[in-house]
Amino acid sequence: MTIPNLITIMRFLLVPGVVYALLSERMEWAFIGFVIAGVSDGVDGFIARHFHQHSELGAYLDPVADKLLLASVFVVLGFMGELPLWLVVAAVARDGLIVSAVLLSSVMGNPVKVQPLMVSKANTAVQIVLVIAVLAALTFDLEFGWFGDALEYLSGLLTVASAAAYLVAWLRHMNGYGETDIQG
């Protein structure tokens, strides 16, 4: 068990707290919890890289913690009417399709090691900025107007582009045309 893995586990534990804060209309706690989770993601990556604390467990836990937090917050913000439902459905469906593809390839005896594509990293970054903007607006009574709308559409565009890129890479892998890894 490495320090980055312990930090990642802390991120898992923050998810129900952030969701509860949102559902309880304690926006400041949701905002603080989400920001702490985001900072902890950067810290665990920094420690893993600079102090050679990479682990196979961490390679699986880190993206799962990130996606669990983002998907949970997206769903709750959609339920609250703070994010458009089309965006929530697209984001959650994309993650579900990626997990399904990885599981299917493993069941079929052709496992694929997934590493984030650049478009996926951009998608995650925009989703994080979008959530921070929505939580900041709710916490501090701000209006983002066209900027908020632009973030939503950019997030939607990157979600679709990322899903398509992963699908193409996965199909190439399954047909034996690509590397054994899906990477960017």
Question: Same domain for 67 and 109?
Answer: no
Do the beta carbons of residue 69 and residue 11 sit within 8 Å?
A: yes
Question: Same domain for 24 and 40?
Answer: yes
Contacts of 149 (CB under 8 A, 6+ apart): none
Contacts of 117 (CB under 8 A, 6+ apart): 162, 165, 166, 169, 182, 183, 184
**End-of-domain residue from the set 53, 82, 111:** 82
Angle of CA points 120, 98, 93, to nearest 5°: 90
Q: The pTM is what?
A: 0.91
Question: Same domain for 8 and 20?
Answer: yes
Q: Which domain holds residue 135?
A: 84-184
Question: Same domain for 138 and 174?
Answer: yes
Question: How many domains in the chain?
Answer: 2
137-179 pLDDT, tens digit each: 999 999 999 999 999 999 999 999 999 999 999 999 999 876 5
Question: Same domain for 112 and 135?
Answer: yes
**End-of-domain residue from the set 82, 105, 133:** 82
Q: Where are the alpha helices (DSSP H) in 51-181?
A: 56-79, 85-107, 118-140, 145-174
Question: Same domain for 107 and 178?
Answer: yes
More confident position, 60 or 120: 120
94-140 pLDDT, tens digit each: 999 999 999 999 999 999 887 789 999 899 999 999 999 999 999 99
More confident position, 90 or 178: 90
> Minimal CA–CA distance to 8: which of 21, 46, 22?
46
**End-of-domain residue from the set 82, 114, 138:** 82
Question: Same domain for 183 and 98?
Answer: yes
**Share of residues in the chain with pLDDT > 70 (%):** 96
